[in-house]
Amino acid sequence: MSFELPKLGYNYTALEPHIDARTMEIHHTKHHAAYINNLNTSIAGTALEMKSIEEIMTGVSVHSAAVRNNGGGFYNHNLYWEVIAPGGSPKPEGVLLSAINDSFGSVQNFQEAFVKAAVTRFGSGWAWLVLQENKLAVSSTPNQDNPLMDVAEVRGTPILGIDVWEHAYYLNYQNRRPDYVNAFWNLINWDEVARRFKG
């Protein structure tokens, strides 16, 4: 079994002006596709061919760097494409809103923590909203690591993530990562985040 590049639920132009079409096209067809191709090559002929990407991530410490990096790149981008959408969706509500308020005190406190995690991640990486049993946490990871991995500092199930590698924003924002992170709030698909929260 090999992993495949997922189709997006929207056109490359659909996230403008927050994320430009050229960035989306390159990010999806070049970067994400490369992670998938390299992942398939690194697991070819091994027992990992029969495992889900989630199973591979949770035991990644015993696998090669190629599996860790490319498996993370595959998983992380799959999540990223799904938690953003043209125009975003309504703010968090219901049980997700309650969990955010319980964990952070308010939506504003959560946003501030998430922005800080994204903006202060040195070099390339990700910022996450992580489900840990019935509690939520914010974290960041380097490179293509994620909270599912047994090597992560903060472990759990990611339900929202932002890619802060330069390839995710540099054509439009250059070195202005905070501007990209702030624009991201206009695209969050809270319906999908809530679906992941409920499992």
190 three-class SS: helix
Burial class (CB in 10 A: 0-12, 13-18, 19+), 168: buried
Expressed in angstroms, the distance from the first to the final Cα of the chain is 25
Before 178, cis peptide (omega within 30)?
Answer: no
Q: What is the spatial distance between Cα 135 and Cα 125, in angstroms, rounded to a whole number?
A: 23
Reading the block at residue 179, the tokens are: 């501007």
The whole-number pLDDT of residue 1 equals 64
pLDDT digits (tens, 9 = 90+) for 96-139: 999 999 999 999 999 999 999 999 999 999 999 999 988 999 99
What DSSP line would sit under 106-148, residue for residue?
Answer: SHHHHHHHHHHHHHS--SSEEEEEEEETTEEEEEEEETT--TT
Q: How many CA atoms lie within 13 A of 114 on its CB side?
A: 25
pTM of the model: 0.96
Domains in the chain (CATH in brackets) are 20-199 (3.55.40.20)
The one-digit pLDDT tens for each residue of the chain (199 residues) are: 689 999 999 999 999 999 999 999 999 999 999 999 999 999 999 999 999 999 999 999 999 999 999 999 999 999 999 999 999 988 999 999 999 999 999 999 999 999 999 999 999 999 999 999 889 999 999 999 999 999 999 999 999 999 999 999 999 999 999 999 999 999 999 999 999 999 7
Residue 168 is given by DSSP the state G
